[in-house]
Structure 1
């Protein structure tokens, strides 16, 4: 399905409610006019039946219907809505049946009025109903009234359509400039987002370069100095064994051995700091091997939680920025699990497919509610790394925590 342009979408947004309103009002107007016709026919039909019933008593009693027929024909000529008039006796046997010569179709309903037999009083005046002599049935035709209403409806529809066309043309002209402005704004936002990604990538690269520089200085300077201190302390221990008196020599030897232990502890701390600042294992073993080493280290150091790695695909030849970012993201995620999750199991999944690197880190810990828990620095840092590489980041916090990351790979 082709993607709609920005202007087309703006037109749809602005004109669709207007079209719905136009169709709704048009349908309502049409239905209301038909209801008006039916109501008018009902009122006129009932009045006509009552009038004919009032004037038909004498014709029915005398059996002379010519005058009544003439009256009915006159009514039909004056009112094209009257289609058929039938005069019935008391047993509902047709006596007079007059039908208009118009082409309209009669309605299924009819209007009926009884013809009452009245007893007149000479003295005192007035009359009294003493029975029913017959009935008058009137059938109306809505054809003429509907045609009249239809003409009025078409005129109103034409005026409304012109107004609708005017609104649509105005919307079309307005969206022209607005679409151009929106398009330029979107381009500016995309450019700003791209610049932000480049800035984040430069910042991450600068941070990693600085870490590498610090790691090299620790490795080359501090560790070398600690090795020298350790050797000097060992020589002091050897000289102390030859010194006199013996108690003083023993104290000197103990101090020298203490210095040796401290130097060795500082050396190991320096090596650990160097690995954290610049994971040499990443350069030697690649991403998969480095993550295996990391997961195994967490497994050894945290026996309360079982850590596992699942890797699928060929991870050789990954771009250095992608590899170090993936390593740091998993490192931060596992650190958060140890600090906050209280989990019993944690899994790292690594997959390379369709030109993307997919990373998922999941645990069965306590999770958290993003609506009530502020986003930590670690998660913000992971998001920034992913954004800098143009990837996707998603986190689910129900029944533990699951972080899913997708990074694009250069072809």
Structure 2
């Protein structure tokens, strides 16, 4: 198990631990040392006292044992027992280990130690049998023997001695506890001062983190904390200056970007005006060319066809079959050229827009595609509330739909195509939605390379509209165009 719970502690908890834990550990260590030392002293005192009492009794009871004076022995034991409360029991026995006298305390006792001591007396002295001649000048040696006449057994308990010393031990522990409490209080006071300083430092750092660099710290403190506070103040000043410089750069760059955006918007507006103007000029040129073709070439072809018809009638009347046959060919050629001329006029300037409006012109165009391409079905629908579209908006919408249908016929390989003209709920925008079930295409590449799509986007952007193309690979294509019904010609 990894003891990392302290890593989640705050500054206050850590400072409190620093202030209290050392003093608490010191109190426990000193108290434990005093207790162990007191116990050791008591046990040594008990051992010395037991041996001393046993020795004294063994010497004082020698002649009582020899003479058999039991009363003397009992009186001696009684006096010794009542003189020292640490003695639990005393007994004197003869050499045959028969108890001659015994005295014991009535209270129970624990931690008792037993000390045995033999009672010995001196026997008569003996002279060495091998005496040396007197001429040698050496005195003969004599030997004194000790004879055991009994035994003294002393049972001593350490409890009374320890109880006697308990008061002194408690006083010492109280002094140590007081010193520990004083150390804790001093440590807590110092930790509080340190926490106050660190709290101000943390508050300054939080202000700097939130972007407020105007911090107040006492920079005149000595030591590491003062250096830390001075460093934070310098950092705050540096960051404030850097922020001010960055703000100035941002303001400058923002102004440059705004100017660039304005220039781009002006260029875009100018581009739209140019596109609108060029489209209008192109449509006007197409209209003029279409009128010229219709009025001049169409009229000439009608005249040729009438002259050929008259020539056919005249040749038939005169019986000239060859001339009649040639006149019929001329009439057929003139009719074919006249039909081609009408198709060219329609492509240059769809007259149905002027007669049927946008919806009718688009429906007529869809019907024409449906006739020309039998492998693909074209369908048209419109909202019932679709109003008359202005001419300057109808022509771009018609051209966008025409270009979209041309692209579908050329590239989509579709079998179903639908064209829908719609109107927004506020009747401020019209929409054109063209769907097919073809193979689709990659819009990210085709938007850049397809001239038809670029032309569509330019036409739509010129009148302030939007064009959106969705074409998942293999799932067909959807072209959605929104056009404002009120065109701002000044933008």
**Residues 185/58 of structure 1: CA separation in 2 closer, same or farther (3 Å cut):** closer
**Residues 154/317 of structure 1: CA separation in 2 closer, same or farther (3 Å cut):** closer
Q: Give the Cα separation in 2 of the matches to 1:274 and 1:363.
A: 29
> By how many angstroms is 1:44 displaced?
7.2
Give the 3-state SS of the residue equivalent to 2:481 in structure 1: strand
Are the equivalent residues in 1 in contact too, given 2:294–2:342 (CA < 8 A)?
A: yes
Superposed CA offset, 1:268-316 (max 9, x none): 0110111111111110111112122122222222222222222125555
Report the counterpart of residue 407 of structure 2 in structure 1.
Answer: 336
Are the equivalent residues in 1 in contact too, given 2:290–2:348 (CA < 8 A)?
A: yes
> By how many angstroms is 1:69 displaced?
3.2
Q: Give the Cα separation in 1 of the matches to 2:35 and 2:394.
A: 109
**Residues 409/150 of structure 1: CA separation in 2 closer, same or farther (3 Å cut):** same
Q: Give the Cα separation in 1 of the matches to 2:29 and 2:247.
A: 64
> By how many angstroms is 1:240 displaced?
3.6
> By how many angstroms is 1:211 displaced?
0.7
Report the counterpart of residue 57 of structure 1 in structure 2.
Answer: 32
> By how many angstroms is 1:150 displaced?
1.8
Q: Does 1:221 align with 2:296?
A: yes
Q: Which of 400-409 and 169-178 deviates more?
A: 169-178
Q: Give the Cα separation in 1 of the matches to 2:208 and 2:462.
A: 57
Report the counterpart of residue 173 of structure 2 in structure 1.
Answer: 68
User: 1:375-390 alignment to 2 at 5 Å?
Assistant: 375-390=449-464
Total equivalences in the alignment: 321
Q: Does 1:393 align with 2:467?
A: yes
Give the 3-state SS of the residue equivalent to 2:438 in structure 1: coil
From the CA coordinates, give the structure whose radius of gyration is larger. 2
> By how many angstroms is 1:34 displaced?
4.7
**Residues 152/242 of structure 1: CA separation in 2 closer, same or farther (3 Å cut):** closer
> By how many angstroms is 1:59 displaced?
2.4
Q: 1:154 aligns with which of 179, 185, 203?
A: 203
Superposed CA offset, 1:34-65 (max 9, x none): 55665676677665555444433342243403
Q: Which runs of 5+ in 1 are unaligned?
A: 1-30, 84-101, 103-140
Q: Which runs of 5+ in 2 are unaligned?
A: 1-5, 39-165, 215-235
Superposed CA offset, 1:88-128 (max 9, x none): xxxxxxxxxxxxxx8xxxxxxxxxxxxxxxxxxxxxxxxxx
Superposed CA offset, 1:177-205 (max 9, x none): 44333333222221111111111000100
**Residues 265/180 of structure 1: CA separation in 2 closer, same or farther (3 Å cut):** same
Report the counterpart of residue 341 of structure 2 in structure 1.
Answer: 270
Report the counterpart of residue 369 of structure 1 in structure 2.
Answer: 442
Q: Does 1:194 align with 2:269?
A: yes
**Residues 152/235 of structure 1: CA separation in 2 closer, same or farther (3 Å cut):** closer
**Residues 32/319 of structure 1: CA separation in 2 closer, same or farther (3 Å cut):** farther
> By how many angstroms is 1:322 displaced?
0.1
Q: Give the Cα separation in 2 of the matches to 1:298 and 1:206.
A: 27
Q: Which of 192-201 and 372-381 deviates more?
A: 372-381
Q: Give the Cα separation in 1 of the matches to 2:462 and 2:179.
A: 92
Superposed CA offset, 1:344-370 (max 9, x none): 221111123321111111112211122
Give the 3-state SS of the residue equivalent to 2:406 in structure 1: helix
Q: Does 1:320 align with 2:398?
A: no
Are the equivalent residues in 1 in contact too, given 2:421–2:433 (CA < 8 A)?
A: yes
Q: Which of 37-46 and 321-330 deviates more?
A: 37-46
Q: Which of 157-166 and 202-211 deviates more?
A: 157-166
> By how many angstroms is 1:254 displaced?
2.7
Give the 3-state SS of the residue equivalent to 2:443 in structure 1: coil
Give the 3-state SS of the residue equivalent to 1:234 in structure 2: helix
TM-score of the aligned structures, taking structure 1 as reference length:
0.68
User: 1:11-410 alignment to 2 at 5 Å?
Assistant: 34-35=9-10, 51-61=26-36, 62=38, 63=166, 64-80=169-185, 146-157=195-206, 161-162=213-214, 163=236, 166=241, 168-241=243-316, 249-353=320-424, 354=426, 355-373=428-446, 375-398=449-472, 399-410=475-486
Are the equivalent residues in 2 in contact too, given 1:219–1:270 (CA < 8 A)?
A: yes
Superposed CA offset, 1:344-398 (max 9, x none): 2211111233211111111122111223545422211111111100111111112
Give the 3-state SS of the residue equivalent to 1:371 in structure 2: helix
TM-score of the aligned structures, taking structure 2 as reference length:
0.58
> By how many angstroms is 1:219 displaced?
0.7
Q: Give the Cα separation in 1 of the matches to 2:207 and 2:394.
A: 68
**Residues 259/281 of structure 1: CA separation in 2 closer, same or farther (3 Å cut):** same
Q: Give the Cα separation in 2 of the matches to 1:178 and 1:279.
A: 51
Are the equivalent residues in 1 in contact too, given 2:11–2:195 (CA < 8 A)?
A: no
Are the equivalent residues in 2 in contact too, given 1:218–1:274 (CA < 8 A)?
A: yes
Provide the alpha-carbon RMSD of the alignment.
3.2
